Amino acid sequence: MRLINIKPGRASASLLMLLPFAAVLIAYAIGSEIRLSENPSDKLLPAPGTIWDTAVRLTTEADRRSGRILFWHDTWASLKRLGLGIGISAFTALVIGLLIGLLPLMRSFLSQFVAVLSMIPPLALLPILFIVFGLGELSKVVLIVVGTLPFLIRDLSQRTLEIPQELLVKAQTLGASSWVIAIRVALPQVLPRLIQGVRLSLGPAWLFLIAAEAIASDLGLGYRIFLVRRYLAMDVILTYVIWITFLAFVIDWALRWISRRTFPWMETGL
């Protein structure tokens, strides 16, 4: 039987899915064990048990100086920045993308400009953002917006262009104005694409968030990681990394769930 025709059953599919996770955990545990047996005060690969203890301490014990549980404050600060940045980005991209996709005038006016803008490496703009917007929340949110907006605009304008011409003509023969076509035909068909685009943008958004927090911040997940790096606190760093991964995964999963629930007419799940 050809390899391309061999499909795993339900049980073996689950097993295969878990395998790489288990492999990484076991490899880490072995590596950690080897290093710790040579030098019990080794800091590079803390034992899984140590990481667990650190995680419990970070999430339950308040900071001695400020009396706050920094872990949750970091999380809240970062999620706020991320949500604000992605939210502004998504909304702006939706409006501009629809304009470019539907109106030939706007396409001539903006599409090349956006294409050039999207080539600017956002991190190269970070110093400018800090200078212009200061070191507060604004510059971090703006970095996320600058980093994700051009991609989202290009994605959404392309998706709008891909709406079959037949549907736009049909709407016109039903007497729809440009505005009605935008809100009743194009918008509902592009919204699931927006969610898909946001899911793809979340990776870069986290990258920009952590970069901005690492450089100038006093709270946030990225800030904490770079702060404890000075003490080689691998257990804290790893806890935060696992937590960020978990958050990103949950957000992605939630967006997919929303997309499925809200747009049942999309036959295939995104």
Partner 1 sequence: MSFVTIENVFQTYDDRPILERVNVEVDEGQFMSVVGASGCGKSTFLRLLLAQEQPTRGQVRVADAPPAMEPGLDRGIVFQKYSVFPHLTVRENIIAGESFRHRWGRLFGAERRDALTRADETLVRIGLDHVADAYPATLSGGMQQRLAIGQALVAKPRILLLDEPFGALDPGTRLNMHDFLQNLRAETGMTVFMVTHDLEEAFKLGDRVLVFDKPRWDPNDPTLYGATITYDFDARDGGIPFQTLKEETHVLHSA
- Contact positions toward partner 1, by CB under 8 A? 164, 166-167, 169-177, 179-180, 183-185, 188-189, 263-265, 267
The radius of gyration computed from the CA coordinates of the chain, to the nearest angstrom, equals 23
User: Which has the closest alpha carbon to 78: 208, 249, 238?
Assistant: 208
Least distance (Å) between residue 123 CB and partner 1? 38
Least distance (Å) between residue 260 CB and partner 1? 14
Q: Would you say 21 or 179 has its CB closer to partner 1?
A: 179
Q: How far apart are CA 200 and CA 196, in angstroms?
A: 6
Q: How far apart are CA 263 and CA 265, in angstroms?
A: 5
Least distance (Å) between residue 157 CB and partner 1? 19
Give the burial class of 208: count Cβ atoms within 10 A of its Cβ; 0-12 exposed, 13-18 middle, 19 or more buried.
Answer: buried
Q: Would you say 67 or 175 has its CB closer to partner 1?
A: 175
Least distance (Å) between residue 199 CB and partner 1? 20
User: Which has the closest alpha carbon to 162: 141, 134, 193?
Assistant: 193
In sign, the C-alpha dihedral spanning 128, 138, 210, 112 is: negative
Q: Would you say 108 or 177 has its CB closer to partner 1?
A: 177
Least distance (Å) between residue 83 CB and partner 1? 27
Q: Would you say 106 or 214 has its CB closer to partner 1?
A: 106
Q: Would you say 9 or 164 has its CB closer to partner 1?
A: 164
| Segments of the chain assigned E as strands | none
